[in-house]
């Protein structure tokens, strides 16, 4: 549960430079080795770019040739460099296609590549069974949906279709949305409720509507990191489930 408190800003406690909250702070060794790894990749990437433009031997030769021909590059500065020399080195671990339900195990389709940049999953490609550690299948419906919710899902498709094809504000609200919101409001004991499809949308929509100039946001240290990054709550105090800590923030320092 994410706690948000609105109050006039009385004072601000800032964390020291380089200090991070949470139970696992970044050590000096981890910070140095991380920066060294990035510096090594950047230096060697720049060297490879210089060699590619000089000798014309590179898997990105078409991109470099387009620049010499007077065409504008699709992206500028460090964004394109990061994609070429850093992301493409490890991209094989991302965007892996799979087949079948995203249960405890998934069947990952193996891909082929000729240049290390473009990975293609060919028809009848080998399939590898892997442990699934990144699914949103929290309730397990994907594992046994034929027995748990098949009839309800298909009956809902016949009546409400697969999607609304519109936003809630326009014509995307149907009877199921209102029914769910009434159930949530009744469960928490409130007059009404608004249901969002994801936490990011909740934070980016609700918090700006409630907060304003002069508001103080007190966010629990174990809240999702998206709260900090979305609203710049970097100067925070590391306290978890502590009423005394929240009270101390609303009083000027003695």
Using CA atoms of 102, 105, 109, 115 in order, give the dihedral in degrees to the nearest 10: 100
Whether 142 maps to a domain, the answer reads yes
Among 248, 229, 250, CA closest to 239: 248
Looking at 63, 93, 123, the residue that finishes a domain is 93
The pLDDT confidence band at residue 15, using thresholds 50, 70 and 90, is very low
Output the pLDDT for position 75. 53
Q: Are residues 130 and 101 in the same domain?
A: yes
Q: Are residues 167 and 156 in the same domain?
A: no
Looking at 143, 174, 195, the residue that finishes a domain is 195
What is the DSSP secondary structure assignment for residue 243, as one 8-state letter?
H
Task: Read off the pTM.
Answer: 0.53
How many domains does the chain divide into? 3
| Most confident among 75-84, 195-204, 226-235 (mean pLDDT) | 195-204
For the four alpha carbons of 74, 201, 92 and 111, in that order, the dihedral sign comes to negative
Q: What proportion of the chain, given as a percentage, has pLDDT over 90?
A: 17
Choice between 22 and 220, residue whose per-residue pLDDT is larger? 220
Q: Are residues 111 and 154 in the same domain?
A: yes
Whether 136 maps to a domain, the answer reads yes
Whether 246 maps to a domain, the answer reads no
In the block, residue with structure tokens 């990749």: 41
Choice between 76 and 214, residue whose per-residue pLDDT is larger? 214
Instruction: Tell whether the model's pLDDT for residue 143 goes beyond 60.
Output: yes
User: Structure tokens of 67?
Assistant: 């620049």
Q: Are residues 110 and 59 in the same domain?
A: no
* Residue 54 lies in domain: 28-93
| Most confident among 41-50, 75-84, 164-173 (mean pLDDT) | 41-50
Q: Are residues 151 and 107 in the same domain?
A: yes
Output the pLDDT for position 28. 92
Across the range 44-68, mean pLDDT stands at 77
> How many Å apart are CA 164 and CA 160, to the nearest integer?
8
The pLDDT confidence band at residue 55, using thresholds 50, 70 and 90, is confident
Length of the chain: 254
Whether 8 maps to a domain, the answer reads no
- What's the pLDDT tens digit per position in 158-186? 888 888 888 888 888 888 899 999 999 99
Looking at 93, 111, 130, the residue that finishes a domain is 93
Whether 242 maps to a domain, the answer reads no
């Amino acid at each position: 549960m994410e706690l948000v408190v609105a109050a006039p800003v009385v004072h601000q406690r800032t964390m020291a430079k380089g200090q991070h909250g949470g139970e696992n702070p970044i050590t000096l060794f981890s910070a140095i080795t991380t920066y060294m790894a990035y510096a090594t990749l950047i230096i060697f990437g720049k060297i490879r770019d210089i060699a590619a433009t000089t000798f014309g031997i590179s898997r990105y030769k078409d991109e470099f040739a387009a620049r010499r021909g007077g065409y504008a590059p699709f992206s500028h500065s460090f964004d394109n460099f990061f994609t070429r020399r850093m992301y493409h080195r490890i991209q094989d671990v991302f965007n892996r296609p799979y087949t079948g339900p995203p249960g405890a195990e998934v069947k990952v389709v193996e891909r082929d590549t000729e240049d290390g940049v473009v990975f293609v999953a060919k028809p009848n490609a080998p399939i590898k069974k892997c442990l699934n550690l990144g699914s949103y299948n929290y309730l397990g419906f994907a594992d046994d949906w034929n027995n748990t919710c098949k009839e309800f899902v298909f009956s809902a498709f016949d009546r409400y279709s697969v999607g609304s094809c519109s936003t809630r504000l326009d014509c995307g609200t149907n009877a199921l949305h209102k029914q769910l919101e009434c159930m949530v409001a009744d469960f928490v004991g409130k007059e009404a409720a608004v249901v969002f499809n994801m936490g990011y949308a909740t934070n980016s929509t609700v918090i700006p509507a409630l907060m304003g100039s002069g508001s103080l946001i007190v966010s629990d240290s174990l809240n999702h990191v998206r709260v900090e990054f979305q609203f710049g709550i970097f100067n925070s105090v590391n306290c978890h489930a502590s009423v005394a800590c929240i009270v101390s923030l609303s009083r000027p320092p003695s």
